[in-house]
């Protein structure tokens, strides 16, 4: 039985704690948060004890460290966890700066532990299925992609999400989900252009980023914390052989529309059903399986850092009123 320590007792820390307690191979034994009341509430909920001293989560009786703290602290806990020979699951984004990310990579490699970043979108059915269809050539060569991720601006402890210096705004904190999926699906990016309203935080934030991939594909990536409605996502992926569409507000969230064949018959629209199991649970089960088998996680540390690099390039472009950033 792997003993799990949770660092960060917010929404995602709670979700992971519940998941790891439900996985047969793992048990949550410690919860640490700088807000002791939050740590106590989560510890009681999952039958763990509070780690009142930070050093406890790096102790000999811990096998796995889950880092669900505010973004600037990810590197600190992940590096200390790796140095203490703990397997580390780190929430996205992997880090706040590329320098932090490089230090994390070095620590993970030196320690030889299992390390994974929570880019959970890869485990959402519509996104996983779309990736597989594109990879199989079902819509031909992709020319243009459009993704959208819309939400209200989050708060968090001391409203840290609303501090651009801490969170990186909507582009680093939320749109990075789409950056990761696009890099996974289309390969390396070569340049980034982004415009938005970072100066209007903390009341709202919005970013519209264009990415040119080395493959020649172009993606337009929208992220918003300026909405008052329900959280929603969508994408349109246009290829030489058809179109993939996703809209989380629709009953059939994923459809594939093929171009007409030589005989003139229209392609079939294929719906994808919603997931029965939570993508967050699938993600955590995958991480545990990698620990148990020694397999490399589906999201490697290098890939997670690549997504941060694109997100930070978009932030720089946005801050410079749309200056193109070469990668």
Sequential DSSP letters for 61-110: T--EEEE-S-GGGHHHHHHHHHHTT-EEEEESSS-SSHHHHHHHHHHHHH
Residue carrying the six token digits 């939400």: 151
Domain ranges of the chain: 2-113, 121-280+307-326
pLDDT for 269 beyond 50 = no
Rounded Cα–Cα distance for residues 202 and 288 (Å): 37
C-alpha separations of 100 from 36, 97, 319 in Å? 27, 5, 21
C-alpha separations of 301 from 118, 296, 304 in Å? 11, 10, 5
**What pLDDT, on a 0 to 100 scale, did the predictor assign at position 251?**
75
**What pLDDT, on a 0 to 100 scale, did the predictor assign at position 260?**
60
pLDDT for 290 beyond 70 = yes
In CATH, the number for domain 2-113 is 3.40.50.720
Rounded Cα–Cα distance for residues 97 and 137 (Å): 35
CA-nearest of 121, 152, 155 to 303 is: 121
**What pLDDT, on a 0 to 100 scale, did the predictor assign at position 137?**
97
> Would you say domain 121-280+307-326 falls under CATH 3.30.360.10?
yes
Q: From edge to edge, which strands make up the β-sheet containing 142-150? A: 254-258, 242-247, 232-239, 142-150, 218-224, 206-213, 189-196, 325-326
**What pLDDT, on a 0 to 100 scale, did the predictor assign at position 292?**
98
**What pLDDT, on a 0 to 100 scale, did the predictor assign at position 199?**
74
Q: What is the pLDDT of residues 291-313, one digit of tens each?
A: 999 999 999 999 999 999 999 99
Q: What is the pLDDT of residues 177-234, one digit of tens each?
A: 999 999 999 999 999 999 998 777 777 899 999 999 999 999 999 999 998 888 999 9
CA-nearest of 316, 303, 305, 277 to 23 is: 277
**What pLDDT, on a 0 to 100 scale, did the predictor assign at position 153?**
87
pLDDT for 77 beyond 90 = yes
Rounded Cα–Cα distance for residues 199 and 231 (Å): 23
Q: Could you check whether the bond before residue 320 is cis, i.e. omega within 30 degrees of 0?
A: no
Rounded Cα–Cα distance for residues 228 and 226 (Å): 7
Q: How confident is the model at residue 159 (pLDDT cuts 50, 70, 90)?
A: confident
Check if the beta carbon of residue 242 is closer than 8 Å to that of residue 257: yes
User: Using the 8-state DSSP alphabet, how is residue 152 labeled?
Assistant: B
Q: What is the pLDDT of residues 17-44, one digit of tens each?
A: 999 999 999 999 999 999 999 999 999 9
Q: What is the pLDDT of residues 131-147, one digit of tens each?
A: 999 999 999 999 999 99
CA-nearest of 225, 140, 222, 230 to 182 is: 222
What is the phi/psi pair of residue 284, to 5°?
-70, -40
Average pLDDT, the chain: 93
pLDDT for 270 beyond 50 = no
pLDDT for 271 beyond 80 = no
Rounded Cα–Cα distance for residues 278 and 120 (Å): 10
**What pLDDT, on a 0 to 100 scale, did the predictor assign at position 326?**
97
Rounded Cα–Cα distance for residues 45 and 37 (Å): 12
């Amino acid at each position: 039985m792997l003993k799990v320590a949770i660092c960060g007792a917010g929404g995602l820390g709670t979700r992971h704690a519940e998941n790891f307690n439900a996985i047969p191979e793992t048990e949550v034994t410690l919860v640490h948060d700088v807000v002791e009341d939050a740590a106590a509430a989560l510890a009681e909920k999952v039958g763990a004890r509070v780690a009142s001293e930070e050093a406890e989560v790096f102790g000999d009786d811990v096998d796995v460290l889950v880092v669900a703290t505010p973004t600037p602290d990810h590197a600190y806990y992940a590096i200390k966890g790796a140095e203490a020979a703990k397997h580390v699951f780190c929430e996205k984004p992997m880090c706040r700066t590329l320098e932090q990310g490089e230090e994390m990579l070095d620590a993970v490699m030196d320690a030889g532990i299992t390390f994974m970043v929570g880019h959970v979108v890869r485990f959402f059915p519509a996104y996983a299925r779309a990736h597989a269809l594109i990879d199989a050539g079902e819509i031909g060569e992709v020319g243009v992609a459009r993704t959208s991720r819309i939400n209200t601006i989050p708060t968090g402890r001391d409203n840290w999400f609303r501090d651009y210096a801490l969170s990186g705004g909507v582009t680093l904190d939320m749109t990075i989900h789409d950056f990761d999926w696009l890099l996974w699906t289309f390969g390396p990016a070569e340049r980034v252009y982004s415009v938005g309203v970072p100066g209007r935080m903390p009341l709202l934030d919005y970013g519209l980023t264009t990415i040119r991939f080395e493959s020649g594909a172009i993606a337009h990536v929208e992220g918003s914390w300026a909405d008052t409605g329900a959280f929603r996502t969508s994408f349109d992926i246009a290829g030489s052989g058809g179109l993939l569409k996703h809209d989380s507000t629709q009953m059939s969230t994923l459809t594939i529309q093929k171009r007409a064949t030589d005989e003139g018959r229209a392609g079939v629209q294929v719906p994808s059903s919603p997931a029965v199991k939570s993508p967050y649970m699938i993600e955590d089960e995958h991480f545990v399986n990698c620990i148990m088998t020694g397999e490399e996680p589906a999201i490697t540390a290098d890939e997670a850092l690549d997504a941060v690099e694109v997100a930070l390039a978009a932030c720089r472009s946005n801050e410079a009123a749309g200056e193109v950033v070469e990668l």
